């Protein structure tokens, strides 16, 4: 577009010339609008703004003979209006183009979809399995008084058995401002006496919670989960315990798997057992993974009378069994998971998590 206003012109402009320049200005502007992809606002500033050729030309209207000024003014207005209309029309057709190219029936882009963490899935599965035999899922504190985690479980202060739990301790003050020890619970057994204190018998508890121990390697993370079963009623026998173990093993690991119990020692159960399950790879025959056909699952036993007494239960009428196993450990021993490092579960690598 040629700029007709580069040199300030003080000479009078004959009316036909001025109108000719206006028309030229209009033609240039309409050509720009037709060719351009610019937004309506940008075009408006470029073609009608203070710095546009049209505005500069309009400012020279005073050089047109006085008598013709009104007539020229109408032409200026008409030119402006035609430019505005052209810009508006272009804008509208752009929106129409967009509307006609938008197909609302086209499938959208699916946002990535997550799922529950595998440990949460395992916790839910374990909960459902025990619910079917009337065990109720409960929650007990994950940071608890030393008493519930050890003392009430027959492990008085400084008892060497505590070393096996490699615990994180906290020093806190109780209501009377006395210093007392709390622990990040190293097992879910703190739930045993807490559940007994509810004074509702019989007890069929499954307490699933986070546990903490000072250990990290392929089979340990400092934070992990355990599920603790507790059954207190009249005349409970080791046979009942074995029945529940077999039931759980078949439900969780598969009908071909078997459970066995071996004598062991815990301060809070008497007798105590270590529970094994038949290896899923060799089915009990013995292989590289299991050595002798069995894999260690966790501890169990008949609740020690001292623990029952600490929970306020009359040991002449009631007795029971308890067991406590690792959720992650169970998940890893499930056929088909092929997990050889427990830390993978908490690596938060979606490529790993997506597989489950
Ligand atoms: N609390 C024990 C542990 O963490 C397991 C256990 C629970 C043993 C209940 C016996 C009875 O190793």
| pLDDT of amino acid 1 | 47
- pLDDT single digits (tens) 114-152: 899 999 999 999 999 999 999 999 999 999 999 999 999
Region 228-235: mean pLDDT is 98
- pLDDT single digits (tens) 334-355: 877 778 888 999 988 888 888 8
Region 262-283: mean pLDDT is 92
- The Cα angle at residue 86 between residues 83 and 92, in degrees rounded to 5: 140
Region 54-76: mean pLDDT is 91
Ligand 1 touching residue 273 (CB < 6 A): no
Q: How far is CA 161 from CA 153, 192, 264, 324, 325, in A?
A: 11, 18, 13, 17, 18
- Cα of 337 vs centre of ligand 1, distance in Å, is 25
| Euclidean distance between CA atoms 90 and 87, whole angstroms | 5
Average pLDDT of the chain to the nearest whole number: 90
Q: Which distant-in-sequence residues (6+ apart) come within 8 Å of 277 by Cβ?
A: 249, 253, 257, 258, 259, 260, 294, 295, 297, 333
- Cα of 172 vs centre of ligand 1, distance in Å, is 26
Which residues on adjacent β-strands are paired with residue 184? 143, 168
Domain boundaries, the chain: 15-100, 118-141+188-353
- Cα of 80 vs centre of ligand 1, distance in Å, is 89
**What stretch of H or E contains 327?**
helix 327-333
Determine contact, residues 257/282, Cβ cutoff 8 Å.
no
- Return the best residue to mutate from 165, 191, 207, 268 for the ligand 1 pocket (most ligand atoms within 8 A of CB): 268
- Cα of 316 vs centre of ligand 1, distance in Å, is 24
202: cis peptide before it, omega within 30°?
Answer: yes
Ligand 1 touching residue 329 (CB < 6 A): no
Region 191-212: mean pLDDT is 97
Ligand 1 touching residue 322 (CB < 6 A): yes
SS (H, E, C) 91-133: HHHHHHHHHHHCCCCCCCCCCCCCCCCHHHHHHHHHHHHHHCC
Local structure of residue 201 (DSSP, 8 states): S
Phi, psi dihedrals of residue 272, rounded to the nearest 5°: -115, 155
Residue nearest to atom 7 of ligand 1 (CA): 324
Class of domain 118-141+188-353: alpha beta
- Cα of 147 vs centre of ligand 1, distance in Å, is 16
- Cα of 130 vs centre of ligand 1, distance in Å, is 17
- Return the top range by mean pLDDT from 38-42, 251-255, 289-293: 251-255
- In ligand 1, the atom with minimum distance to the C-alpha of 189 is 1
- Look up the pTM and report it: 0.70
Ligand 1 touching residue 300 (CB < 6 A): yes
Q: Is the pLDDT of residue 314 over 50?
A: yes
SS3 270: strand
- pLDDT single digits (tens) 151-178: 999 998 888 888 888 899 998 888 888 8
- Cα of 308 vs centre of ligand 1, distance in Å, is 15
- pLDDT single digits (tens) 94-105: 766 666 777 888
- The Cα angle at residue 160 between residues 228 and 141, in degrees rounded to 5: 30
Q: Which distant-in-sequence residues (6+ apart) come within 8 Å of 226 by Cβ?
A: 187, 188, 208, 209, 211, 298, 324, 325, 326, 327
């Amino acid at each position: 577009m040629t700029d007709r206003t580069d040199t300030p012109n003080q000479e009078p402009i004959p009316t036909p010339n001025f109108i000719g320049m206006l028309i030229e200005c209009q033609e240039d502007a309409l050509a720009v609008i037709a060719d351009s992809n610019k937004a309506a606002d940008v075009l408006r500033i470029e073609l009608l703004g203070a710095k546009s050729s049209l505005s500069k030309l309009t400012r020279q209207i005073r050089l047109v003979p006085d008598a013709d000024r009104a007539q020229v003014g109408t032409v200026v207005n008409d030119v402006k209006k035609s430019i505005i209309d052209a810009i508006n029309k272009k804008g509208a057709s752009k929106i129409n183009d967009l509307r006609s190219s938008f197909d609302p029936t086209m499938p959208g882009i699916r946002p990535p979809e997550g799922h529950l963490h595998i440990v949460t899935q395992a916790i839910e599965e374990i909960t459902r399995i025990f619910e079917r035999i009337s065990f109720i899922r409960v929650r007990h504190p994950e940071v608890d008084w030393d008493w519930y985690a050890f003392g009430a479980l027959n492990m008085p202060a400084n008892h060497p058995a505590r070393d096996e739990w490699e615990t994180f301790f906290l020093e806190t003050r109780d209501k009377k401002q006395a210093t007392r020890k709390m622990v990040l619970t190293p097992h879910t057994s703190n739930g045993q006496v807490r559940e007994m204190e509810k004074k509702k018998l019989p007890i069929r508890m499954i307490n699933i919670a986070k546990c903490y121990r000072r250990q990290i390697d392929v089979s340990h993370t400092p934070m992990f989960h355990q599920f603790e079963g507790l059954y207190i009623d009249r005349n409970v026998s080791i046979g009942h315990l074995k029945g529940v173990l077999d039931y759980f093993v078949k439900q969780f690991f598969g009908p071909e798997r078997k459970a066995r119990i071996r004598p062991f020692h815990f301060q809070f159960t008497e007798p105590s057992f270590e529970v094994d399950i038949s290896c899923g790879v060799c089915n009990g025959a013995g292989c590289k993974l299991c050595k002798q056909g069995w894999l260690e699952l966790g501890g169990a036993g008949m609740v020690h009378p001292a623990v029952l007494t600490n929970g306020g239960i009359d040991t002449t009428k009631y007795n029971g069994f308890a067991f406590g196993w690792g959720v992650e450990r169970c998940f890893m021993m499930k056929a088909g998971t092929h997990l050889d490092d427990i830390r993978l579960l908490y690596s938060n690598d979606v490529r790993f998590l997506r597989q489950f």
